[in-house]
Amino acid sequence: MNSWLMIIMLIFLLIISTGTLLLLLFDMKRMTKQLDEIIGNFGTNELVRTNTHSKILIQFITKINQLIYLFKQDQQNMVKKEKELKEEVTNLSHDLRTPLTSIKGFSELLTDPSISEEERKEFLSIIQKKIDHLTMMADGFYELSQIESSDKPFTLEQQLLDKIVVEAMLLFYNDFEKNQLNVHMDEMTVSPILADKKATNRIVTNIIQNALRYAKSYVTINLVEEETYYRLRVVNDIGPFDHTELNRIFDRSFRLDPSRSGGQLGLGLHIVQQLINKQEGQVAADVHDHKFMIDVWFKKWD
């Protein structure tokens, strides 16, 4: 009797094991089909699903789905970078073509024997300005390439941010006067910050130049002390602004002047972001009621 009972139990276990194995094989076949569909149509958000209760298989499928997610994320980043690169090449082509066309045109005019000496001097002056603009473009891209490719650490030392801001504002005093901009600066006497001197000068200069470029009537500058940072805020009024573009403020190819009539590259704020990130600081921008605000956080000197 016991022998028959053992045989029945073994048969029962064999049936259960065979059924479980068949279900597992069926589930693996179904998951393989899912993988084929995902590979064939990788643009979807589909992941591999399983009905099994096997912990080992569930863990295995979880790892496969993580790989799929990471690969899709990497693919999306590549598509985004390719799009940005195409946009930058298009923008750069435009930026180069405009001054080169002007240089070519005015150079041809200089060969005309009928032009006066005064006109000749005027054309030469225009050509020189266009050459200066091209030099500025080359310098900007060279500086950016140095920042992004350099592994050399910054020299973080005690810096007087209030002094750097005041000196930069004095440097652009004539430009503010020329643009008829009202400038307001709060009394700024703050403790030292921990920063690289050259990088900090470039950050402050780029922010002021950005305000000069786009401000309509005023620029306001102040420093605010926070727990571990000093926040430099520069505010200026601007014309109509598409708020959907706000998240692109720090992109290399972005500029507030979409017509590109100002002849300026969109590198200034991108360089600010690169430099402050390398000093463990932060930068943010916002637009509200025709006011453009940019905040830069510098670490305090301990």
Per-10-residue mean pLDDT, the chain, length 302? 68 68 68 72 71 74 80 83 76 77 88 87 88 77 71 82 91 89 83 90 91 91 90 90 78 62 62 89 90 93 82
Cα–Cα dist 153/42, whole Å: 41
User: Which residue segments constitute the domains of the chain, with CATH numbers given?
Assistant: 2-76 (no CATH), 77-149 (1.10.287.130), 157-299 (3.30.565.10)
Q: How far is the C-alpha of 41 from the C-alpha of 38, rounded, in Å? A: 5
- What pLDDT, on a 0 to 100 scale, did the predictor assign at position 261? 46
How high is the pLDDT of residue 78?
86
| pLDDT for res 260 | 47
How many other β-carbons are positioned within 10 Å of the β-carbon of residue 236? 24
Structure confidence at residue 22 (pLDDT):
62
Q: Is 234 left (phi over 0), alpha (psi -120 to 50) or beta?
A: beta
pTM of the predicted structure, to 2 decimals: 0.64
Distances (CA, A) of 193 to 155, 170, 207: 13, 21, 18
